[in-house]
Structure 1
């Protein structure tokens, strides 16, 4: 048994192959349930088939339990039938707190701890249900979003086979009367000429037995299948009593193409026969149904893959390109395009095989589609006056076209179009499939457009925040009588040094904001102290040292600045623990504050102050080296001095050749 669920794509492919390999309704129920139960590691499996409007009886089961017979009949509520028909499925723990039914029908009595349930449906009709029970928790099954797709395929196959069972029952009675029940019996000699043919020849191929006797039987085989049939007949003739089964196309006398299923047996060695006996029957309808089911699987796979791919798309262009590629790959349509409705009323092609210019909305099938608000299907474009040959290399090859509108939030947004070089390449099934895909595309476009609006609003808000912060920084410089541009200068230097030391992304954003606002706490310092021309006394210093705490009180209530508090609150802390306001030491001091402390002192030393002239680079450097390990983090000093050396003698300050 499996211990974990396969991925959705693997599960869909494996179950689809298994279901399509079954030849009867009973096999489809039994073998399908067995395969899915074993694949997912279920302990019990129940498949119920609909027998009346609300009643479903057990059609197949997997595993054994003495109480299983209690669940032989299910009664389905109308609301749940509607959900299952829409492709809803559940994967949930047992017992469910929402269970309201009789206790004896609770799956917990079967030892179940987890339930997976989905419907088998054919269009709007619920054909049956599947319940898989697990005697252990299985949260890994909660992501199997393809169960709705599997239920649609399974239900469609069941409905088809049920109808075919009735046909086969009638054929069985006919076989009893007509010697093994074939529509046509033909006996051929070794060279393939007709020795005998039953009366069904006229009904099946429009030719009487008299017309074909003595003639080559392979004359009625379609040219595209002739080589394959010849090879099979030659192989059959080489081995006595061997048999071969073959399905091929044949030509009716009136030119129609039929599909024949033939079983041949080599009885050339039998004296009473001396020929190859071929029993043939018309399977044209079955082939048509088979092609319908194959296309249905393609469409379901496309819709599932479209959902997955469009969830990953981040832009309108990416949505358009992904859906074009998916339709080309999954459905084999060679020419696909997505076009958006521009403000001037024209259609602008976003993605297609060869690209293309914009076109007026008032012309062509795309314009007609948008005017009518519904899909437009054209069997032969050259017979329609609306047709305008598209640009690109394939323009002359287009013979049929299908266009469906794209809507975003209920409003016309553009079109999704497919074109084919074949006449009548599309039917109503294709239209329905394309409209489903168009709905998925519209939902994806709504998401990416909303995200784009949100990103734009976020970026505008962030710019407004940063402009406000820069205004505060300039105001602080003016009030504190700093040299012009001090806050901007130390900010840029601090960001550059932090980047050299490995800080990235949001770390640099918060460091930059904190650096701009490093002295915001001085807004609370009285002018008499802040602007005092002489030295401060002890009481005045006590007030001045409170400005980091004031910064914290001022900025902490502002949510978008909470991650930028390290520098305003801690840039006066010292590596040796003798700084203020908290007396932090070593790496207790936030890294951003340690970086800024070096930059702030460097800039202060390199510029004139009212109480002293600017220091030269050598003297300022010597102070940093002397205070490394005392005032400053040694690692930050080393990084800064290395940067200074790389600058080849240039001074790192905004007024004298800032190096970044």
Structure 2
């Protein structure tokens, strides 16, 4: 074609040039902008999922590390258990996705899919493209702490198939472990490839149609009217192609008038409801078969059409119903078509089936919720919550994602070989049997056989527990053994009043929850054993102290039973004065050992029947120092030193061994000083008889402010229910 002819041709088809430009613009936009953006969005969804999964696994490692830090586990025990837990974790379709662990020296520690790699150096392990993936994991963990690594890897369900994969890895610094998990990208690439191919096909078809139309215009202007019929045939052919494109679209497309009556609909839409165009043409769009199954959706469609009639583009999500009343989610848009007068003449309705996308989003949300629940349970275990509290947390959280009627926990006592009901959550008409022997009933068989059992297994059993299930009208139930360190800890049961409601996916997840509860049981047992050991040790210490006091009384017959009496009355006085119970413990020990220093006094002085000489008193007054030297090296008894060391100090500073005065004297010693004198004077001694109580009370009152703390004296009289000051005592 000559230059003149080309210019002439362009003038003839100049009305189509904007369409060509727009078509090319949209084609390029879809292929080079929208599709890459959509691909990035899909990849980011995969990345976020793997990121959350690895963070949950890191939380598990942090749990074991915290148990190492409090001395509950050794590092080796914690790491061994952590490996076992990580190796057992599964997720994804068919539970084929897993976690692995390698260290910074490229040693593979855990790989559930390739156990042959475990405990080997995999530094030079390559994928099909020569990527040293383990080196990539380690370098990324050392330089950034965490990140994503793309590579190719064999599939779990078909090891002969190598697929693209992206993994998220994160360094757990306390142990020098790199933990990661990956997701295959086949589905992303396949979806993008499919969309790209369809877009190119539609683009080429439209370009071909426009090209044909341009040729038609050029030829029709060049030829005579005699060729007009041929031109019309070409036009009809082009229209047929456009109709073919219209009807072959996967979207639901309809044309409405300005009032909302259906004028035309593509074949995809008609096939969905099993109708012909004649069956629905002329009807108000919201009264057609696509919407009549749901009044709420009808109202939504009607409101959208009315809004579009004002000239607005409307977009929303709604439900669409097929000929079998099957329901899908549709991304619906209603676009106004304006006439030359600016009024809405037509409306184009387009619906895109987004059910698969919606299902994928819901599945991702469900999996994230599952991981969040496990994380909450881990936190509760780390915070040393009780088994009952953790069970309530489990039931409350599980009710958010599953339809559960009741959850029950049983604790196994190996010594009795019995299971005891601990917790039942949910609505019940009756209560289960409180105790069941191992091997009896459904729950007893779960514990005995150490395996998950369902309602089908229970059909061969009969006893009281099954009577409880029948009375409650439970139609579906599962029992999970709670096993930790190879030992049965108890059983978790879940019940539903709907048949076949506990599916495999739900049972698999509840099995993981049961594993967490087993850890909670194990932790509770360890804490109880530790508390029991501490109590037994403290009792042993106290019995030892009482033995020391008895040994002193056996040596000094004058003070027989004196320690028990003064200890009892000292505690009574201290409590009346508001002394805290944690201090009472040390005050009791100090009272028991108040004269322990006398063990250092020679017998000729301690057991002397007559009065002591001044030199002998000097030795006798050293017994508080002997007590200090004996008890102060023992950390356990240091808080109890105040009474043995200071009970002979006087309020006015004239006491011994240090001459303390007033509130310099420890409070416990000030309390005990009054009790010690009271007990000594109200009981017989070899060198004198016991004084009358009235005489002793007058004697103590006379030393108020001299030997004794005035406030302590007043409280002592209150304990004895005696007025202060006491009535004068007459010797007669």
What is the TM-score with the length of structure 2 in the denominator?
0.63
Aligned equivalents of 2:694, 2:168: Cα separation in 1: 85
Q: Provide the residue aligned with 1:461 in structure 2.
A: 537
CA contact (8 A) 1:84 1:118 kept: no
Q: 1:395 corresponds to which residue?
A: 472
Task: Tell me, yes or no, if structure 1 residue 320 matches structure 2 residue 391.
Answer: yes
Alpha-carbon distance between aligned partners in 1 of 2:667 and 2:406, rounded to the nearest angstrom: 58
Give the aligned partner of residue 641 of structure 1: 717
Q: Secondary structure at the match of 2:688?
A: coil
Task: Kindly indicate whether the alpha-carbon contact (under 8 Å) linking 2:412 and 2:418 is maintained by their aligned counterparts in 1.
Answer: yes
* Secondary structure of residue in 2 paired with 1:237: helix
1:118-517 correspondence runs (5 A): 127=166, 129=168, 165-166=192-193, 168-170=195-197, 172-173=199-200, 176=203, 178=245, 182-188=250-256, 194-201=262-269, 204-209=272-277, 212-213=280-281, 218=287, 220-221=289-290, 225-238=294-307, 239-254=309-324, 256-267=326-337, 274-329=345-400, 331=402, 333-341=404-412, 343-346=416-419, 348=421, 350-353=423-426, 354=428, 355-358=431-434, 362=439, 366=443, 369-370=446-447, 373-376=450-453, 391=468, 395-396=472-473, 398-482=474-558, 484-517=560-593
- CA drift at 1:487: 1.1
Query: 1:596 Cα shift?
Result: 0.9
Distance 1:119 1:260, change over 3 A: same
- Structure 1: any 5+ residue segments left out of the alignment? 1-22, 35-75, 87-100, 110-114, 133-141, 652-660
Q: Which has the higher helix share?
A: 2
2: CA distance, partners of 1:222 / 1:389: 48
Task: Give, in angstroms, the shift of residue 213 of structure 1.
Answer: 4.0
Aligned residue number for residue 159 of structure 2:
none
In 1, distance between residues paired with 2:668 and 2:296? 80
1:418 Cα deviation (Å)?
2.9
Cα distance between partner residues in 1 of 2:111 and 2:149: 8
Between 486-495 and 248-257, report the one with greater CA deviation. Answer: 248-257
Give, in angstroms, the shift of residue 507 of structure 1. 1.2
Partners of 1:83 and 1:619 lie apart in 2 by 82
Following superposition, the deviation at residue 408 of structure 1 comes to 2.6
- How many pairs align? 549
- 2:86 alignment partner in structure 1: none
Aligned equivalents of 1:389, 1:357: Cα separation in 2: 10
Whichever of the two has the greater Rg, that structure is: 2
Contact 1:119–1:126 (CA<8 Å) still a contact in 2?
no
The answer on 1:544 being equivalent to 2:620 is yes
Residue 433 of structure 2 aligns to a residue in which SS?
Answer: coil
| 1:595 CA drift (Å) | 1.4
Q: SS of the counterpart of 1:511?
A: helix
Query: Displacement of 1:423 after TM fit?
Result: 4.8
Q: Secondary structure at the match of 1:482?
A: helix
Instruction: Return closer, same or farther for 1:291/1:418 CA change in 2, 3 Å cut-off.
Output: farther
**Post-superposition offset of 1:580:** 2.1
1:468-617 to structure 2, matched below 5 A, reads: 468-482=544-558, 484-617=560-693
1:9 maps to what in 2?
none
Q: State the 1:538 CA deviation.
A: 1.9
* Alpha-carbon distance, 1:453 to partner: 0.8
**C-alpha RMSD over aligned residues:** 4.7
Unaligned runs of 5+ in 2: 1-36, 49-99, 113-134, 157-163, 206-244, 728-732
Residues 531-540 or 196-205, more deviating: 196-205
TM-score by length of 1: 0.69
For 1:533 and 1:213, locate their aligned partners in 2 and report how far apart those are by CA, in whole Å.
128
**Equivalent residues of 2:165, 2:185 under 8 A apart:** no
Determine helix, strand or coil for the equivalent of 2:491: strand
- Report the alpha carbon displacement of residue 406 of structure 1 after superposing the two structures with TM: 1.3
1:211 positional shift: 5.1
- Per mean C-alpha deviation after superposition, the further-off stretch among 161-170 and 457-466 is 161-170
